[in-house]
Chains A and B, each alone.
Chain A
Amino acid sequence: MSKKAGKNNHLLSYPLIILASSGDVEAINTVLKHYEGYIAALSTRQLYDESGNKHFCVDEVLRRRLETKLITKILTFNVA
């Protein structure tokens, strides 16, 4: 997420939200980009190799799944 330069700057703008929920591809991509970091954080999993060392690894399956879910759900958001 972008740095908080000012108050509420971490929020997406209202017109963009309206566009995204009405299915505008550009807007949806912007939303996905906005939550990219959070999605990556959620899909990071701890793995252990044979010698027991910890690894952090982004589960691509989960990442794609979260993105897809977000896209389908954005369209149902009630803007009014």
Chain B
Amino acid sequence: MKPSYHEQSKRHAFDSFCKKILKHEARDYYDELKRQRKKEKSFSDLSLKEMEQLYKVDKYFVTEQIFNVLGLDVIVTDDVIAGALDNLPEQKRDIILLSYFLELSDREIGDKLNMLRSTVQYQRTRTLQQIKTFMGGDVHE
């Protein structure tokens, strides 16, 4: 039985078809690898700033002092500041926390604590002075 000319040529065509597909696919793969290699960067080549964006460090064993003001928790991680705040009478501490940690305006603080805006401002400046003397030489400013 002799296969027809057409069948014979189709068999050749199929063979070359398959080989071509395989060859090109393999080349695509290697090209992709090459492209990827070009874009890849080693960790050691990254600048410090780029590296810092890649990770985050959890802080353990840092003294955290939590102050409660109007039902909100304010976490202070700095020892010196926490100590200074701890030494203040409650109302003054509330003003400082609301103003500098929760970023409220004097008027908003006054509304919340039932005080005049001017009283809040006065207390705030006074307390800042107090803190400054309390912290003394610990902080240069």
Residues of A whose CB lies within 8 Å of any CB of B are: 8, 10-14, 17, 31, 35, 38-39, 42-43, 62, 65-66, 69-70, 73-74, 77, 79
Can you sample 24 A-B contacts with CB below 8 Å? A8-B8, A8-B11, A11-B11, A11-B14, A11-B15, A12-B14, A13-B11, A14-B7, A14-B10, A17-B11, A17-B14, A35-B19, A42-B23, A42-B26, A43-B26, A65-B29, A66-B22, A66-B25, A69-B21, A70-B21, A70-B25, A73-B21, A74-B18, A79-B10
Closest to A21 in B: B14
User: Are B17 and A77 in contact, CB atoms less than 8 angstroms apart?
Assistant: yes
Rounded to whole angstroms, the CA-CA distance of A10 and B16 in the bound complex is 12
Q: Which of A14, A43, A65 is the one whose CB lies under 8 Å from B3? A: A14
User: Which 10 A-B residue pairings sit nearest by Cβ, starting from the closest?
Assistant: A14-B7, A42-B26, A11-B11, A69-B25, A73-B21, A17-B14, A62-B29, A66-B22, A66-B25, A11-B15
Dominant secondary structure at the A interface = helix
User: Closest CB of chain A to B23's CB: distance in Å?
Assistant: 7
Q: Size of chain B's interface in residues, with CB distance under 8 A?
A: 17
Q: Which of B10, B18, B21 counts the most chain A CB atoms within 10 A?
A: B18
Mask for B26-42, Cβ within 8 A of A = 1, else 0? 10010000000000000
